[in-house]
């Protein structure tokens, strides 16, 4: 009880106010950007960057489910993205199916692949799993390079530009809500338990294999959708868009934002997409500055910008709900007052 | 029918027989201790019972059903929970989340219910919340609920681990050296706690312990292991005077 009161009135409250201020500012910027894009006052180039940022948000949040929340080090995210991109593009080019349906199918195919890949490889841990998933990503790339229907190294062109800022925004929002809601549930706690201590998780009745495969499949599904959006934004894809480097880029966003923080992934994805563009003025020094910023941040905050915290933790939202839950229960005494119900 | 029946449980690692034809019968409400010198194979027995190891041979029956070879999570769900010798809490999580995680197998809602926040989700989450708070209060951990598990004092970490095991709603509780690293006062408190918890939750308890005072005060029956072999079984008094046990602990008397 005392703790909660201290939290509200003492030193932390300034941080809370600042957090509300920051959240409000971000909200205003988002609103302004949306109005700008809607009215067409944001220039074409910048709105393109924003779409990529939103796609990266989907990729980072979904990879965070695998790497951050479930603690399974995957380097194969670009592979799932590639599958989604190619599947959706082929469906729109040859069959002209509606875009939402196509994205859904891309998600299903990627998820299925995530499941198939997940079952055997998730017996591996840590570095070994990383290498296995890296291998998976490369296999996808090489297969795409050698198939006829994908156009091989020439790539796949003539994809309709179906991705808009708003469709990307909608999907990104859905991703955040779906993964966020999963995380804040009993299933989400099972993912985290697997990350924290697999043996203890098993002993607590959690089917760790199931949850690892589940994390992989859900993460892959959203990566597939992101791939679909990406393809219909670029209008041209080739296997070079989905190299190992791409997986690393997404991983950097997740690590920088904080393994186990959705808020962190969102912010890191947006910042790391816009930052290199903003640094264009520095010409050839741009990537050096970018790299130095990353190194600096990792030295100062090795747990990432947000650690495992979410925006709600800074705003004090979670705690309020806590207090409510407590007050609904009659004040219970210790030990003796709990009779019966031994189960 | 006995609650737990172990028949000729044998566990070999390569050429080493860690547990050799171990037998045990636990009836409802029993409180039995497993003792023996270091390296006798006590924890290996626990690991076999809870599915961490698949035994080389032998049978384990929980409420009449074969459980040897099942996954640990399946055995936990069938009503056998454990604590670990070297405390295995979810160290970086809060006390509150440590308990909440363990209610997982009692929640029935699926992923869709979580994603769409269906009424089922809200109802079960509220139940989990209430049960968690109840357990935290019983164990006097409510004040610490928002603290990170690893920041708790050692004794309270032990308590939290027991509370967490209870959250899985077990019939049988296996405690692996619950008093390890505790001073006499803490051990005393723990002895009372175990006894109280047993009554409160209708438990059957099987525990490994080196602290003889705890074992003698708490257990109705003892099993003594040495080099994987059961060398004695009986009441604490019988065990205390058994020459074989004395030999295993203190070595052969020099003649």
- Is there a contact between B46 and B24 (Cβ–Cβ < 8 Å)? no
d(CA A232, CA A221): 17
CA distance A270 to B248: 66
Count of residues for chain A?
343
> For the complex shown, is ipTM > 0.95?
no
What is the phi/psi pair of residue B54, to 5°?
-90, 115
Residue A323 has pLDDT above 60, yes or no: no
Q: Residue B124: closest CA among chain A residues belongs to which residue?
A: A186
- Nearest CA distance, A333 vs chain B (angstrom): 8
B83 domain-assigned? yes
| Span of A15-24, B153-162, B224-233 with lowest mean pLDDT | A15-24
What does pTM read for this prediction?
Answer: 0.88
- Structure tokens given for B60: 């384990």
Is it the case that residue A339 has pLDDT exceeding 70?
no
Query: Taking 90 as the threshold, does the pLDDT of residue B10 lie above it?
Result: yes
Please name which of A261, A252, A250, A251 lies closest in space to residue A307, comparing C-alpha atoms.
Answer: A261
For residue A291, pLDDT over 50 is answered with yes
Q: Which residues contact A16 (CB under 8 A, 6 or more apart)?
A: A314, A315, A316
Considering only the beta carbons, identify the residue of B117, B133, B169 that sits closest to A329: B133
Going by pLDDT thresholds of 50, 70 and 90, the confidence category of residue B181 is confident
How many structural domains is chain B composed of?
1
The mean per-residue pLDDT over the stretch A106-120 comes to: 92
Q: From CA B59, how far away is CA B65, in angstroms rounded?
A: 10
| A159 φ, ψ (degrees, to nearest 5) | -80, 135
Mean pLDDT of A270-295: 84
Whether B94 maps to a domain, the answer reads no
> At a CB cut-off of 8 Å and minimum separation 6, what does A243 contact?
A78, A141
Q: For the residues B206-226, what does the mean pLDDT come to?
A: 92
- A176: closest chain B residue by CA: B115
Both tokens assigned to B189: 């408190």
CB contact under 8 A, A182 and B114: yes
Q: What percent of chain A has pLDDT over 90?
A: 57
| Whether residue A262 has pLDDT greater than 90 | yes
Q: Is the pLDDT of residue A10 over 50?
A: no
User: Which residue range is the domain that position B201 belongs to?
Assistant: 4-88+165-250
Question: Is B149 a member of any domain?
Answer: no
Buried b (16+ CB within 10 A) or exposed e, B23-45: ebebeeebbbbbbbeeebbbbbb
For chain A, give the mean pLDDT.
85
What whole-number distance in Å separates Cα of residue B25 and Cα of residue B4? 6
Does residue B155 lie in a domain region? no
pLDDT of residue A328: 41
Task: Tell me the average pLDDT of chain B.
Answer: 91
Report CB contact under 8 Å: B137, A199: no
Question: What mean pLDDT is predicted for residues B123-130?
Answer: 91
Q: Which residue of B has its CA nearest to A2?
A: B143
Contact B169 A189 (CB under 8 A): no
Task: Indicate whether B183 belongs to any domain.
Answer: yes
Residue B210 falls within a domain, yes or no?
yes
Chain A and chain B share a number of CB contacts under 8 A equal to: 126
In a domain, B20, yes or no: yes
Contacts of A327 in chain B (CB under 8 A): none
Residues in chain B: 255
- Check residues A336 and A14 and name the one with the higher pLDDT: A14
pLDDT band at A169 (very low <50, low <70, confident <90, very high): very high
pLDDT at site A335: 34
Q: Look at residue B26 in the predicted model and tell me its pLDDT.
A: 95
Q: B115, A178 in Cβ contact below 8 A?
A: yes
- Residue at B153 is within a domain: no
Query: Would you tell me the crossing angle of helices A99-121 and A126-146 to the nearest 10 degrees?
Result: 130
Q: Write b or e for each residue in B46-61: b if 16 or more Cβ atoms lie within 10 A of its Cβ, otherwise e.
A: bbbbbbbbebeebebb
Task: List the CATH number of the domain containing B192.
Answer: 3.40.50.300
Binned at pLDDT 50, 70 and 90, residue A322 comes out as: very low
**Is B81 in Cβ contact with A189 (below 8 Å)?**
no
- Please tell me the distance in Å from B39's CA to the nearest CA on chain A: 21
* β-pair partners for A319: none
């Amino acid at each position: 009880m005392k703790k909660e009161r201290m939290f509200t009135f003492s030193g932390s409250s300034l941080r809370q106010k600042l957090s509300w201020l920051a959240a409000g500012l971000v909200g205003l910027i988002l609103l302004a950007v949306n109005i700008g894009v809607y009215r067409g006052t944001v220039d074409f180039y910048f709105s393109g960057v924003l779409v990529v940022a939103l796609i990266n948000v989907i990729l980072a949040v979904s990879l965070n489910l695998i790497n951050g929340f479930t603690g399974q080090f995957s380097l194969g995210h670009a592979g799932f993205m590639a599958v989604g991109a190619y599947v959706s593009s082929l469906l729109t080019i040859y069959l002209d199916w509606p875009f939402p349906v196509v994205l859904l199918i891309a998600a299903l195919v990627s998820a299925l692949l995530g499941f198939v890949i997940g079952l055997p490889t998730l017996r591996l841990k840590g570095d070994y799993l990383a290498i296995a998933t890296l291998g998976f990503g490369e296999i996808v790339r090489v297969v795409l390079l050698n198939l006829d229907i994908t156009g091989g190294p020439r790539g796949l062109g003539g994809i309709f530009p179906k991705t808009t800022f708003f469709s990307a925004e909608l999907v990104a929002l859905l991703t955040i809500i779906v993964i966020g809601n999963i995380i804040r549930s009993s299933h989400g706690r099972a993912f985290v338990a697997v990350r924290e201590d697999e043996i203890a998780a098993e002993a607590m009745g959690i089917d760790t294999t199931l949850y690892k495969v589940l994390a992989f499949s859900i993460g892959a599904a959203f990566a597939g959708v992101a791939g679909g959006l990406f393809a219909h934004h670029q209008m041209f894809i080739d296997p070079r868009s989905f190299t190992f480097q791409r997986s690393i880029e997404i991983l950097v966003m997740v690590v920088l934002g904080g393994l186990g923080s959705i808020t962190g992934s969102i912010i890191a994805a947006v910042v790391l997409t816009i930052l290199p563009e903003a640094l264009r003025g520095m010409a050839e020094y741009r990537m050096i500055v970018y790299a130095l910023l990353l190194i600096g941040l990792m030295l100062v905050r090795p747990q990432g910008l947000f650690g495992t915290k979410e925006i709600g933790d800074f705003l004090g939202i979670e705690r309020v709900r806590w207090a409510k839950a407590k007050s609904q229960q009659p004040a219970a005494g210790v030990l003796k007052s709990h009779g019966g119900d031994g189960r | 029918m006995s609650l737990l029946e172990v028949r000729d449980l044998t566990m070999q690692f390569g050429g080493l027989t860690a547990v050799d034809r171990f037998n045990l019968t636990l009836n409802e409400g029993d409180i039995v201790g497993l003792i023996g010198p270091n390296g006798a194979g006590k924890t290996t027995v626990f690991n076999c019972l809870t599915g961490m190891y698949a035994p080389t041979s032998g049978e384990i029956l929980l409420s009449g059903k074969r459980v040897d070879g099942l996954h640990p999570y399946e055995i936990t769900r069938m009503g056998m929970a454990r604590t670990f010798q070297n405390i295995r809490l979810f160290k970086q999580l809060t006390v509150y989340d440590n308990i909440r995680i363990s209610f997982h197998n009692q929640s029935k809602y699926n992923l869709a219910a979580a994603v769409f926040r269906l009424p089922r989700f809200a109802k079960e989450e509220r139940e989990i919340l209430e049960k968690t708070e109840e357990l935290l209060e019983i164990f006097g951990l409510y004040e610490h609920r928002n603290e990170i598990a690893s920041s708790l004092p050692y004794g309270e970490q032990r308590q939290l681990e027991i509370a967490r095991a209870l959250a899985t709603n077990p019939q049988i509780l296996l405690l692996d050296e619950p008093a390890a690293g505790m001073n006499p006062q803490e051990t005393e408190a723990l002895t009372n706690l175990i006894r109280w918890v047993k009554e409160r939750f209708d438990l059957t308890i099987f525990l490994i312990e080196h602290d003889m005072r705890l074992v003698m005060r708490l257990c109705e029956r003892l099993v003594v292991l040495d080099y994987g072999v059961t060398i004695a079984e009986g009441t604490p008094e019988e065990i205390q005077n058994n020459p074989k046990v004395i030999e295993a602990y203190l070595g052969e008397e020099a003649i």
